[in-house]
Copies of this chain bind each other. A is one copy, B any other.
Amino acid sequence: MAVSVVSRELEPERIARLEEGDPPAVVLLDQRRLPDEIAEVACRSVAEVADAIRTMVVRGAPAIGVAAAYGMALAALRGEDLVEAERTLAASRPTAVNLPWALAQMRDDPTPERARVLHREEVERCRRMAAHAAALFRPGTRALTHCNAGGLATGGYGSAVGALRAAWERGLLERVLVDETRPLLQGARLTAWELETVGIPHAVIADSAAGSLMARGEVDLIVTGADRIASNGDTANKIGTYSLAVLAAHHGIPLYVVAPTSTVDHAIPDGSAIPIEERDPAEVTSRFPARNPAFDVTPAELIAAIVTEHGVHRPPYAESLP
C-alpha cells in the first residue's frame, strides 16, 4: 500500500520513539521502504535495535545515535545486561561517531526520559545550525545535496536539509539538485520526499551528473551532512561526498558541511583514523563481483565551512571547531 504524506511535519516521534508498554519497544519508521510505504518497525530487544541500525531501518548519524539511546533505555526497562547492550549497539555500524557518543551519554542514566531529552536536544541542535547555515545563502541560491541529511537522518528537522529549509523560509533558495545517492538511493527516496513534504522545488539527478551541472553553472553551493568529523575538520560522509568536494573546488563552488557537535570526534586528529564501513557488495549488484565502500573522507581543505549549532566555523578547523 502506498501512502503519501505531503502536508505535515515529519514529527520526531514518528522517526524514533520508545513505547513503555508491556512489552516495551523502540519503534522506528522503516526508512528502507520510503517513499512507497510508511511503515514502522517495533524492536523489542537490544539485539533487534542493533539489527535495525545495521540493516538501515534507521540511518543517518544523529538518528542512529537517537535510536541507540532508546535502545539503552529499552535494555534498562527489560533488565538486559547494560554493558552487553552497549557493546551490541556500538558494533552495529562503525563510521558514525554519534553512535558511541549517544551510548556514552546514556551510561549514567539509561532511562526513557534521558533518551527523550537526547532526542529533543538533537532536533534542537538542527534548528540552531540551520539558522546559522541559512546565512550562507544569497537570494536565488541553487543548491545541491547528497544522500539524506534530513529529518529522517537526525531524528527531526535535519542538518543539511534543515539548512535548505531555513534558507527556503527566508526566501533565499531557488531550488535543490538532489544526488540520487547510489547504491541505496537515500537522495532519490528520502531527501526528495522530505523536500516535497515541505514544498521546496527540487530535481533528482544521477550522482555522476553533478559535475557536469556544476560546469554548466547550475550549482551555487553544496550542503551535506556528516557521519564523523575529525578534530582537524576532515569529514567522513556518504560515499560520493569526496568526489563532490573535488568537483566543487575545481569549479570554485563552496561545499558546506552541516552537522551537530555530536558528530565531531575530538579523539581523532584527522580523517585517516575514521573507520570506513564496507557494506555488502550485493547492495551494488549481486550479478557480478562488486565493491561497496559506504563512506569516504573529505579532507578539511576542500570544505568551505563546517556549520554546527554553535555557528559557522571556517578553516583552520583545529582552532575553530567547538
Contacts and interface: CB of A to CB of B under 8 A. Distances in A.
User: Which of A183, A196, A205, A215: most chain B Cβ within 10 A?
Assistant: A205
A296 B203 contact: no
B208 A240 contact: yes
Interface string A162-184: 00000000000000011111110
Chain A interface SS verdict (over half): mixed
Contacts of A196: 288
Nearest to A288: B192
Contact of A243 (B180, B211, B289): B211
| Copies of this protein in the complex | 2
Contacts of A202: 288-289
Contacts of A208: 146, 179, 181-182, 207-208, 239-240, 243
A191 B247 CA distance: 26
Contacts of A293: 209, 212-213
Nearest to A192: B288
B205 A206 contact: no
A285 interface: yes
B242 A204 contact: no
Interface of A: 35-36, 146, 177-183, 188-189, 192-193, 196, 201-213, 215, 239-240, 242-243, 246-247, 250, 281, 284-285, 287-293, 296-297
